[in-house]
A and B are shown apart, each in its own frame.
Chain A
Amino acid sequence: MSHASDPGRQDGGSWIGRSVPRVEDDRLLRGNGRYVDDIALPGAVEAAFLRSPHAHARIESIDVKAALEAPGVVAVWTGDDVASLPPMLNKEELRTPPGLAALLDPTVRMTPMPLLAGEKVLYVGQPVALVLAENRYLAEDALELVDVRYAPLPVLVDREDALSEQAPLLHDGLPDNTAVAVRARVGDPDTVFASAHTVIGERFEAHRYVASPIETRAVSAQVDPYSGRLNVWSGTQTPHRLREATAHTLGLTADTVHVVAADVGGGFGQKGILYVEELLVPHAARVLGRPVLWREDRNENLTASSHAREQIHSIELAADAEGRILGVRDRILVNFGAYNVTGLVVPYNSLCHLLGPYRIPHVDIDVTGVLTNTTFATPYRGAGRPETVFAMERAMDRLAAALGLAPEELRARNLVGPDEMPYTTGLVDRSGSPQSYDSGDFPELLRRAVAKADPEDVRARQREGARDGKHIGVGFAMYIEATGLGPFETARIDIAPTGRVRLAIGAPSQGQGHRTSMAQIAADAIGVPLGVIDVTGGDTEATPFGVGTIASRALVNAGNATHRAGRLVREKIIDAAARRLGVPADSLDLSDGVVAAKEPGGPSMDLAELAGRAPLPGTPEPTDGRHGTEISETVHFRPPGFAVASGAHAAVVEVDEHTGAVEILHYVVVHDAGVIVNPMIAEGQVTGGIAQGIGGALYEEMVYGPDGQPRTGTYMDYLVPTSSEIPDLDMDELFTPSPMNDLRVKGLGEGGAIAPQAVLANAVEDALRPFGVVVRRGPLSPSRVRDLIRTPATPA
């Protein structure tokens, strides 16, 4: 892919498909970004939270007297002080789609979260008290003076203990520690497994790691003295949901709450959910009558913002003698942490992405999510897919070994072919409809990945033997991703009197470059130059309806909403110009911002002229001195189904048998996200996703001790990879258009992050074949690799 050398559109071409340099950058490069903590709110009070040091304890008493007397303290609140506010419950995320409910009848238990823990704390880091002071230093001074007495309770950390009779019960109102449970079956798996030529069974663990955006979470709020509205600035991926929750919690109507997600320094899912801090800060601003700012610190972000990924898969594959997979059975255990925040989202994603690109007729997948005394887990880039792909792709390699087949050959024998599209798996998708893969060419993805990774060359080098104890290995992993989750997204386009085009979308950007890519879509749809378009995202005043930027959905939903709104606006412009010019609309064309007759020499009119002076289409010429035309369209795009993106990754690694160090020699990615709007941005998304996946595969883990204390709560111990750890990637792509939307696009924000854990584990296991190891969990730190070498593999 080329970019940078291709800065703009060539005459007559479309903007879509071009690596337009981002319009966002100039401001950010000058230090003029406005992340929440950068927004000046003179006189703001700073908030700091006292958080539980216990994983599970009853709160016996809280004494805030000394804290209240500390210098600069404005207020100190405990659970009692906010008891009149309802606990937080994101019903939208916890809702089971009717189709899913009817077919599978999943269990989904509600665990409302108190804004400040009153009776019990359920994880280390849970907010217990809120100090509001003149600055953060003084607030932290006062936090130290809040005297909380805890009576520790038995701690439940290991998810496998959660459902035992002896396990402490986390939520008094629930019968046990089950958060969700769902099972799906296709065909007759039991019969198939009983008679199959080869059956393998393994247990694979996806370990806990976290999104860790470089900007931590932040929220500020102020009652606007002019309008009386409550203004809330939050680094959120879902501003409209925050508006609804804020209004609900504080007893306001939604139209008196204005949420803005200004510049957001990365989200990756962690900022896509609701947090109690986001509700308490606006509450404080109203109560105190002063602006209030809270910026999470890194320790809080690592230990108390949402975690992700922790799953155990007990997976079995059955195959015939030719390596055709007949069936899969998987028991998936998901560690939810202390609260059920996002319900079926992650577990069901794991369930309905397990089959991946493979044709597997008989299926039995059972998922249980359990509650433990750890920080709550929610979607993080991939949201259940990296975990399930780790299990399936590891199982594929174990099956290949059992059958004596090369891993890529086993995969090739089981891929769904392009001629089978749309392909139905027999499962039900996340929205409750029969699961269907709309498009894709999985065999071609694999063929290209194999050609680049050259496994035969790796095997030839393996046969030459290790050099200095360094072993080479190759691995593959494939995935599909149902992208473009509904229910809808909004785009509103206005033509300003100056002729500039204002595009507002519900979805905010956390670095995805919407101001550029959405403008490209709008420019093509309307027929205007890119430079006249201004894009706003994530401002609830600009688009009263919206969902957000999560689940690889923004391009599909907001992009197609933008496209449709742009087409409608284009018609309105041409109609208005026809009226002004007194010619039939079908004699006019609009391109580059000028409406002109299709025939040479005819009349023409630019957008500024039209929008500044023309009357509304369909209305009489005004006679009262008013002039100007309002041309505007709002579209809520509702996707008819998922656009399925797909990819094949391959990695060649070298493992030092002495130190356990893993070096990535070659990382290959071939992905398919349909039509690409901005190749430069798309490549950046894929690359960034893979870097996070490599982090999870080799470096990052959020570790808890048996006492429920997080042990990797700083950036010294929680190891986000640096430039030195992330290699350049060898990238290729297919462009199988999605039939599910006008733009024929698929989402790709998460794709890169889905396969790295699996592909690196497969490559490391291949490299360590002489030692007979089985990689069952990550991260593949030197110490863990050495443990594998030292301890011969035992059957699962």
Chain B
Amino acid sequence: MTTIREARWLKPTPFDYTAPRTLAEAVALLGDPARDTKVVAGGQSLIPMLNMRLARPELLVDITRIEELAHLTVDASGALRIGAAVRQARAAADPAVRHGWPLLAAAISHIGHPQIRGRGTVCGSLAHHDPAAELPTAARALDARFVITGPGGSRIVPAEDFFVATFSTAVDDDELLAEVILPPPPAAQGWAFEELTRRHGDFATVGVAVLLERDSATGLVRTARVVFSGAGPVPVRLSAAEDALVGTGVDEAALAAARSAALAGLDPSDDVHASAAHRRETAAHLLVRACTTAWERC
């Protein structure tokens, strides 16, 4: 839905390049009002746009050599912190990620191919924000918090405020996404990530991330998260579907209610690959499948 069709060229416009060693340097460069700057990390989203001359920066600031952005750690609170220089393949292979945030690892495994994931960064994909992409959807489902650093220091933005519109986020021109923080997962949480793609590795026609937390006392759903990709200009969290699942045992009635909520609540658009109706119906179908899987994993 948000892929690029207007290509007329395939070599970038002229720009300058620098690879600062510290975050402070990077922020200082981004804050230069005289130059149109752009952050590059893995480049797997940006460089196609550079080649097609759709992005035309004057200065590229490469943040992959900044040590303080290279961390992938679980902090004292149990939260996962992923620095902006961390490549997707590294995150997906990390044992702590696979154990604590399997939804994230699964989402990454759906991104393109290993040739892309080996270069692309987690934060780069989030900051690029293609709403058909996997990571924004996963981050929204996982209640990610985004550490945005700029001239005035750092601020933390929650996922519901981070994604603004297609290719647009809360990160201002003089800022960069320095880190994403995923809160510690609840004890009994099941997850699923489902998508329909045209070809293996393509952006999703439509996709869904589901997290279900089982109440240990009742054995029923205590909390639910349902977020769709490819269903709007941002990852779409559908609380009506979540409400239909909470307090249930994810039985047929609950699934039917969730499905109805998706059919009623989603308003995707048409494009050359799929009609809006197809996206809506498929999203609802994938939701049922994902809920079933997530509940089995609880």
Contacts and interface: CB of A to CB of B under 8 A. Distances in A.
B199 to A, nearest CB: 6
Given A136-B11, A717-B272, A724 B199 contact: yes
Interface string A125-148: 000000000001100110110000
Given A297-B10, A658-B281, A660-B282, A781 B5 contact: no
B53 interface: yes
Contact of B3 (A137, A144, A717, A725): A717
Interface in B1-34: 3-14
Interface residues of B, number: 32
A298 B10 contact: yes
Contacts of B10: 297-299
A787 to B, nearest CB: 7
A782 B274 contact: yes
A722 interface: yes
Interface string B196-217: 1011111101000000000000
B65 interface: no
A51 B8 contact: yes
Nearest to A298: B10
A167 interface: no
A53 interface: yes
A658 B11 CA distance: 41
B275 interface: yes
B72 to A, nearest CB: 29
Contacts of B9: 140, 143-144, 297, 299
Contacts of A141: 13-14
Interface stretch (A3-11, A630-638, A706-714, A757-765): A706-714
A218 B14 CA distance: 25
A714 B6 CA distance: 8
Contact of A725 (B7, B11, B14, B200): B200
Contacts, number: 93
A714 B8 CA distance: 10
Given A140-B9, A783-B275, A786-B277, A719 B282 contact: no
A711 B282 CA distance: 23
Given A53-B8, A137-B11, A717-B5, A787 B282 contact: no
Contact of A714 (B5, B199, B201, B275): B5
Given A716-B3, A717-B273, A782-B282, A659 B11 contact: no
Contacts of A299: 7-10, 52
Contacts of B5: 711-714, 717
A149 B32 CA distance: 36
A91 interface: no
B198 A658 contact: no
A781 B273 contact: yes
A28 B152 CA distance: 55
A703 B273 CA distance: 10
Interface in B270-294: 272-275, 277-278, 281-282, 285-286
B272 A725 contact: no
B71 to A, nearest CB: 32
A661 interface: yes
Contacts of A782: 196, 198, 205, 274, 278, 282
A725 B199 contact: yes
A721 B199 contact: yes
Given A717-B272, A781-B273, A699 B198 contact: yes
Given A660-B278, A783-B205, A713 B7 contact: yes
A790 B274 CA distance: 14
Contacts of B13: 141, 144
A787 B201 contact: no
B134 to A, nearest CB: 15
Nearest to A725: B199
Contact of B196 (A51, A659, A714): A659
A414 B13 CA distance: 62
Contacts of A658: 281-282, 285
Nearest to B279: A783
24 contacts: A137-B12, A140-B9, A141-B14, A143-B9, A144-B9, A297-B10, A660-B278, A699-B198, A711-B5, A713-B5, A714-B4, A714-B5, A716-B3, A717-B3, A722-B201, A724-B200, A725-B200, A781-B274, A782-B198, A782-B278, A786-B275, A787-B275, A787-B277, A790-B281
Given A144-B9, A716-B203, A782-B196, 20 more contacts: A144-B13, A297-B10, A299-B7, A658-B281, A658-B282, A659-B196, A713-B5, A713-B6, A714-B3, A716-B3, A722-B200, A725-B200, A781-B198, A781-B274, A782-B198, A782-B274, A783-B275, A786-B277, A786-B282, A790-B281
Query: Which 9 pairs, one residue from A and one from B, show the smallest C-beta to C-beta distance?
Result: A724-B200, A783-B274, A783-B278, A297-B10, A658-B285, A299-B7, A716-B3, A137-B11, A786-B278
Interface of A: 51, 53, 136-137, 140-141, 143-144, 297-299, 658-661, 699, 703, 711-714, 716-717, 719, 721-725, 781-783, 786-787, 790
